[in-house]
Structures are given as C-alpha cells and as structure tokens.
Amino acid sequence: MKSTGHLDIDASSLELKYAGSVKNVFASSADIDSLWFSFTDQYSVFDWGKMPDLIANKGSALAIIGAFVFQKLADPKFWQKLPASQYLKKFDSQYLEKRFSHPIFRGKLQKQGLSSHFLELDKGIITNGNETQKIWKELESLFSLQKDFHNQKYLQAPDPNSHLLMRVFKAQVDWPKLDLETNKYIYSAVDTSHKRRLVPLEVVFRFGMVEGSSLKRKLDETPNYASVLGLKTLPKINEWFSQPVIEFFTKLESKDRLLTNDEAVRLAQLPETQFESLLELAKDIALALHVLFAEQHLELWDGKLEFIFDNQSGELLLADSIGPDELRVLYKGVHFSKELLRQYYRPSAWYQSLSKAQKLAAQKGKEGWQDICRDELNQSPEKLSPTVKKIADQLYGVLANKLTGCSVFSNHPSLEEFIEAVNQNFSDFKKEQVNA
C-alpha cells in the first residue's frame, strides 16, 4: 500500500484519543484516515503499566527506529537481497528454500516490498526544543538516503519546540468484553464497514531461547510444548533453532494469553486464506528483521508483530511499531530491550507479588490485578537505582545510533562503551537491589 504523502497539519490541533503506558495516540479532524503516535519516555514491564521512572530519549529513539525499520522493509530491493544473506546460513537450508520460493515472498515482497501502516515522521507537540533540532539534522541526513521510497517525503522539519511523532493509517480496534461470570473475554463479530481494523493478535516469532524468555518457563512447565512448536528436541539456552517458530497471543486482554492456532484463527476473524497469509508474512518478516539487526552485529532472538487488515483491499499491513520494546536484541550477551530492566526488578518483592495479585484478581473476577497488588499486597515498583537509571537513559539512543548507522543521539556512548559500562555495573546494581 502506497503512502498518502505528507499532510501539513498543525500539531496543536491534534486531539488525544488514547493515553497508554508508553504511547499516546492522537487524531485530527483534518485527516480522518490517520493517527499520530507519540512515543513517551515512560516504560512498562510485566504488564504493570507506567513505571516510576522516565527514560531519557526513549520516545524519540523508538520513533526513529520504527520509521527506519518500516522504510527498510518497504523497499523491495531489501527483500531481493535477503536470500543471499550470510546471516541466514545458521538456519535449515530446506526451510529457507521453501520460504523464498513462496508466492508471497516472490510475488509480493520482492516486487513491492512490505506494506505497513507507517506514513511519516512528523512534527510533534511535546516541548523538547534544542535536543529535537539536533536530532532532526541527523535524521535529515539519515532519511535523505531513502527519500525515494514510494516517491514520498517521509519527514517534515519540526518547529523549534516540538517532539517527534509517527503518522500512521487509522484502524478500528474492537475491544473484547470480559464476562465476569466466566472470567472469559467475549469477542464481537467484526464490523467490516470500517476501512481498516486491528487484528487482535500478538504474533510472536522465536529464533531461539535465552535467559528471561517466557518460552523457557513454558517448557519447564510443559516439556511436550516443544513438539507443538515443531521442535524435535527440548531447546537449550542460547542455542539457535533450525528455523523460527511462531506463537500467537491475545492483544486486547488485560494479560497476554497464549493461543492455539485454532483459537488464533477464531479471534483473528480474517477471510479464508488470509490467516495463512498472515502466518507466511510473519515468518518472512522475522527473517528480514534478523538480518537487519545482524548486519549491525546485533543478535535478534525473538519479537512480536501486530497486523492491520484492510477491509477494502484485503491486504495485511504490519502495524504498531518495531523496536526494542517489541524485540529481544542482544550484543555480547547484553540485552538491548526492556529485558535489561526486567532483570533489575526480578529479585524485588514487588515482582514476587505479581503472580499472587493476578491469581487473586482471577478468583474475584476482576481485571485490575495491579490495584490488588498495590492496595491489598502493598507492593509497587521502586524507582531505578542511580546506576541503572544512567544505563537505561542511554539504552535506546545507543541502539538507534547503531541500527541506523547515524549519530542521531550525539551525546551517547558507542556500542562498545555502553557494553563496557553495563558489564562493569550490572552485578553491582543487582546486589544493590537484593540488599535494599
């Protein structure tokens, strides 16, 4: 799907439609077919919602990484070169041959590129003047190399007191309702009168299993789940699979729930054959992202994807955003994602109380397990220690610089310098937290 091009809309006229834990969504009456994502400097772990700290530059870095990835995947030349990538040699050759001969790969991706909901980076509404202007100079250099994508201009220079926004296609979100008697979510039939709608699934791909992966916990509880995924043996930590595996989770429920393929088909409510297309696209996108990060010597182990379905064209569009909040990326054993922050909180009393709060909520037929954790168990996350806060403030900017190959965040250390700082301080801050 081609971009609709740039629309000059005054950011001050945007209306807040949704305030999330890490992302705000705006709309404009002057463009009813678009939404604007404002990625904040807030973060969330373990489905808690807003945590007590802000992470410097996180919002801008996520917008930049997302725009960069969407544009890379939109380029058919990238897909044409993908089968020859040296970074795919670790995977099963017969699997790759089948993937690259599939009609979706050869007919769609290699000829047209990947369609997504991304339209452009645009001027914003959050005051961040001088820093935004410095970032923008680097962005102009970065994206000028790709300005011929779809023959559209993807960047509009911001005013002096603005923050980056990402403009995307608007899509209908049909929220399920919780039946308090059965404690199950009810999904209504989709309304096809809307031009586009969000497919209510999180599509998770995995290339292997590292420490902290939810897959490890699942396999510890149910070892035969490995065969469900198509794995011949129980995987080992830090060992690559012969091919990526795909899982489906709920997207719009209070806590992500693992689904069988049949359950995912029912919830997706896609036309016949389109669910198969979604699965095929997910496999291809996973391989493409793996290579995109590997080209910068970064290891992509797993991630999640979301899709929009266009009711008029019958096309699936990659949606949400693509970055460290959706992907598990490592370099020399160090996580470039929220996993680094999860590791900080896992020894805490607050983390230990989460499962108890969720069980109590299920017993009472309530959605607000976070309130139970706060009010009944008297547990909330504490602020990051100064050591961890400094590391977190550099995490997203360092990754943006490395992935794009451009010094967007000029005041950040190099990748190697950042890794050295993490390795020097990581064991210390874990001790700080355990003794707190």
Q: What is the pLDDT of residues 266-277, one digit of tens each?
A: 999 998 899 999
Mean pLDDT, residues 228-249: 94
The answer, yes or no, to whether residue 381 has pLDDT greater than 70, is yes
Quick one: CA torsion of 262, 265, 267, 268, rounded to 10 degrees?
160
The answer, yes or no, to whether residue 153 has pLDDT greater than 60, is no
Q: Domain 172-318: which CATH class? A: alpha beta
Q: How far apart are CA 252 and CA 177, in angstroms?
A: 10
pLDDT of residue 427: 61
Displacement of CA 326 from its chain's centroid (Å): 2
What does the block give as tokens for 398? 């360092």
Which of residues 205 and 347 earns the better pLDDT score? 205
pLDDT band of residue 121 (cuts 50, 70, 90) is confident
Q: How far apart are CA 154 and CA 151, in angstroms?
A: 9
pLDDT of residue 313: 93
Average pLDDT, the chain: 86
Q: Is the pTM of this model over 0.75?
A: yes
Q: How far apart are CA 243 and CA 316, in angstroms?
A: 23
SS3 of residue 122 by DSSP: strand
pLDDT of residue 157: 36
pLDDT band of residue 338 (cuts 50, 70, 90) is confident
133-142, 238-247, 348-357, 413-422: segment of lowest average pLDDT = 133-142
